[in-house]
């Protein structure tokens, strides 16, 4: 069947497709132009009946305009969503960017009541800001149990390392989110916590059987389903014990038999992005969408080719490969879910209110760890900063505290990132090429949390040996980890107790500010740079 925008069946199918677009208004502003439709394509697809858009990039205020524009371009109510698991500011400048969920799991062990209250405010803050930006669907909470510290893609995004903690905190987040009237999404079903490969790059295999899943991975999902979560997102994982042929996203055994029948979930099932390598490496664009829909998904997220996905599913329906009843059920679920959620509250450009600012600060404060010490001394030294990438780099772009505060004490910033010169040499005991840095003490700040698309790269960096090397040479002035608690635990064990050190799960400027306020002990002034224009 070819793509025919006036065909009523195709229009119905189109409403179940969610395409990707930039949160910025102009084509030239797209951050990932190869994955983000241009405005002409987007307008065309919305006019053909495409029913949802996932947005990324730009500012929160611009997103208000963007979502208004998308609603104008569509004849039907739209699902407008974003991956704002860590607050709207994680993806859209100007929103609140909150510490990653795993921070609250650590707090939960010490103070469960406070942790649960914070998780609920976390959800409420995210929902309120999403609604002010014109979004009606937050793609969270993550319900994966991070019981594998080497997980390259879940990691600090998880609400815990045990199923009870994840179930409790993710439910609290969902309660907060619901109170704002914005839809939530439990992900990645049936559980992405125990993998060591990145499904953005290849298909991970999970060897567990149903009994083990019941005991561990499924428990948070059961809790969220019981709490009435609006949608569940599938994982691109192969679970041979459940279905040796097909990854969860494309598996009827996982989506229909397990999720619908056994777990009695009756809300929207949405695929994870079908453009991910775990799917595209093995299955064509139209066929992946057909298989996912056939398996039990209601919504098709980011198909590699939206028009092909629409005509593929339409053809499978009209040929009887998929019963029409499946379509009617999915449409009805979409309709009912949309009726339940609040309308956009985008009349004011004030996205962030004081309660949100206080929450962002409190979350940083509650999760900060300080290595007892006397503070970093003033010296002509080096502020060595390790980042994943320079563009994007939401933690540092601009006048971030991590870059600028240490300058007041004499520490000049040197950035280490994959697109710069390498600081490494081939000596496993002394892997940092210190001759490249020049003389003086080194304040080491590592922004390292385990982000997608990085595969093994982060784990191969020998920071443990580098910390020993700097310490042996009496050149380590201080150490800060922003992100992974696992890296912090590892490096802390190497540290001389006299070395000032700190850990924050957050990478945002607020985390840098609080960390450096403590380590620099009040020597921060605001006016530390002269330049005022580009």
- Least distance CB 350 / a copy of itself (angstroms): 8
User: Of 113, 245, 374, 533, which lies in the binding site for a copy of itself, with binding defined by CB under 8 A?
Assistant: 533
x/- binding map, residues 279-298, to a copy of itself, per CB under 8 A? --------------------
169: which residues sit within 8 A by CB, 6+ positions away? Answer: 101, 104, 105, 108, 115, 116, 119, 141, 159, 160
Catalytic residue among 83, 272, 298, 458: 272
> For this structure, is 230 an active site residue?
no
Q: What's the rounded Cα separation, in Å, for the pair 148 and 141?
A: 19
Tell how strand 501-504 and strand 369-371 pair up. antiparallel
Instruction: Please identify which residue in the block is written with the tokens 């600028």.
Output: 404
User: Of 143, 169, 201, 225, which lies in the binding site for a copy of itself, with binding defined by CB under 8 A?
Assistant: 201
First to last CA, the chain: 53
- Least distance CB 101 / a copy of itself (angstroms): 17
Is residue 197 a contact partner of residue 238, using CB atoms and an 8 Å limit?
no
420 binds a copy of itself (CB under 8 A): yes
452 binds a copy of itself (CB under 8 A): yes
Cα separation values, 381 from 14, 135, 322, 437, 440, Å: 59, 46, 67, 10, 5
507 binds a copy of itself (CB under 8 A): no
28 binds a copy of itself (CB under 8 A): yes
User: Of 4, 43, 69, 369, which lies in the binding site for a copy of itself, with binding defined by CB under 8 A?
Assistant: 69
Neighbours of 240 (CB within 10 A): 12
x/- binding map, residues 160-199, to a copy of itself, per CB under 8 A? ----------------------------------------
Angle at Cα 277 formed by Cα 275 and Cα 280, nearest 5°?
Answer: 65
Tell how strand 300-301 and strand 17-22 pair up. parallel
User: Of 59, 178, 311, 512, which lies in the binding site for a copy of itself, with binding defined by CB under 8 A?
Assistant: 59
- Nearest CB to a copy of itself, comparing residues 32 and 209: 32
Sheet with 300-301, side-by-side order of all strands: 137-138, 79-82, 52-56, 17-22, 300-301
Q: Which 82-111 positions form the footprint of a copy of itself (CB under 8 A)?
A: 83, 89, 91, 93-94
Q: How many residues does the chain have?
A: 534
User: Of 437, 465, 518, 524, which lies in the binding site for a copy of itself, with binding defined by CB under 8 A?
Assistant: 437
Between helix 39-47 and helix 60-73 the angle, nearest 10°, is 40
60 binds a copy of itself (CB under 8 A): yes
Using the contact rule CB under 8 A, the part of the chain among 31-39, 100-108, 144-152, 241-249 near a copy of itself is: 31-39
x/- binding map, residues 204-243, to a copy of itself, per CB under 8 A? ----------------------------------------
Q: What's the rounded Cα separation, in Å, for the pair 499 and 511?
A: 20
In the structure encoding, which two tokens stand for residue 221, read together? Answer: 């999902």
> For this structure, is 272 an active site residue?
yes
Catalytic residue among 108, 188, 192, 200: 200
Between helix 218-226 and helix 163-179 the angle, nearest 10°, is 30
65 binds a copy of itself (CB under 8 A): yes
112 binds a copy of itself (CB under 8 A): no
Q: Which 361-400 positions form the footprint of a copy of itself (CB under 8 A)?
A: 390-394, 396-399
Q: Is 432 left (phi over 0), alpha (psi -120 to 50) or beta?
A: beta
The catalytic residues are 200, 272
- The site for a copy of itself (CB under 8 A) is made up of 20, 24-26, 28-35, 56, 58-62, 64-65, 69, 83, 89, 91, 93-94, 200-201, 273, 275, 277, 349-352, 390-394, 396-399, 403, 413-417, 419-423, 436-437, 451-453, 509, 526-534
């Amino acid at each position: 069947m070819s793509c025919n925008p006036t065909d009523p069946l195709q229009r119905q199918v189109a409403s179940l497709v969610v395409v990707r677009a930039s949160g910025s208004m102009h084509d030239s502003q797209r951050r990932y132009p190869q994955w983000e439709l241009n405005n002409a394509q987007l307008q065309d697809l919305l006019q053909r009946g495409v029913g949802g858009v996932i947005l990324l990039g730009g500012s929160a205020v611009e997103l208000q305009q963007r979502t208004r524009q998308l609603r104008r371009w569509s004849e039907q109510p739209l699902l407008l969503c974003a991956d704002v698991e860590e607050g709207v500011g994680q993806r859209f400048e100007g929103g609140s960017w909150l510490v990653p969920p795993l921070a609250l799991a650590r707090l939960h062990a010490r103070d469960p009541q406070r942790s649960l209250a914070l998780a609920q405010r976390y959800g409420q803050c995210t929902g309120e800001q999403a609604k002010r930006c014109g979004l009606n669907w937050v793609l969270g909470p993550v319900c994966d149990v991070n019981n594998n510290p080497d997980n390259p893609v879940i990691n600090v995004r998880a609400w815990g390392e045990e199923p009870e903690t994840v179930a409790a905190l993710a439910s609290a987040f969902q309660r907060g989110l619901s109170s704002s009237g914005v839809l939530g999404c439990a992900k990645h079903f049936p559980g992405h916590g125990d993998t060591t490969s990145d499904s953005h790059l290849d298909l991970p295999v999970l060897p567990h059987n149903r009994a083990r899943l019941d005991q561990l991975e499924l428990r948070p999902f059961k809790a969220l389903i019981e709490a009435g979560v609006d949608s569940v997102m599938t994982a691109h994982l192969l679970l041979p014990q459940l279905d040796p042929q097909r990854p969860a996203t494309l598996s009827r055994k996982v989506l229909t038999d397990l999720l619908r029948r056994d777990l009695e979930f009756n809300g929207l099932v949405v695929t994870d992005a079908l453009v991910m390598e775990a799917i595209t490496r093995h299955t064509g664009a139209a066929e992946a969408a057909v298989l996912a829909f056939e398996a039990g998904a209601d919504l098709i997220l980011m198909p590699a080719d939206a028009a092909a996905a629409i005509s593929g599913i339409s053809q499978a329906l009209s040929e009887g490969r998929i019963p029409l009843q499946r379509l009617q059920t999915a449409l009805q679920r979409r309709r009912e879910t949309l009726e339940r959620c609040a309308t956009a509250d985008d009349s004011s450009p004030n996205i962030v209110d004081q309660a949100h600012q206080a929450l962002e600060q409190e979350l940083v404060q509650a999760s900060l760890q300080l290595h007892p010490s006397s503070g970093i001394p003033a010296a002509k030294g080096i502020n060595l900063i390790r980042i994943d990438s320079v563009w994007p780099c939401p933690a540092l772009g601009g006048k971030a505290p991590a870059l600028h505060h240490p300058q007041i004490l004499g520490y000049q910033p040197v950035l280490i990132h994959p697109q710069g010169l390498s600081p490494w040499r081939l000596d496993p005991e002394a892997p940092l090429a210190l001759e490249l840095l020049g003389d003086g003490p080194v304040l080491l700040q590592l922004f390292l949390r385990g982000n997608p698309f990085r595969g093994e790269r982060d784990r191969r960096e020998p920071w443990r040996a580098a910390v020993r090397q700097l310490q042996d040479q009496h050149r380590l002035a201080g150490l800060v980890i922003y992100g992974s608690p696992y890296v912090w635990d590892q490096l802390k064990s190497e540290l001389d107790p006299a070395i000032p050190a700190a850990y924050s799960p957050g990478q945002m400027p607020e985390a840098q500010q609080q960390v450096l306020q403590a380590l620099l002990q009040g020597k921060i002034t605001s006016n530390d740079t002269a330049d005022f224009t580009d």
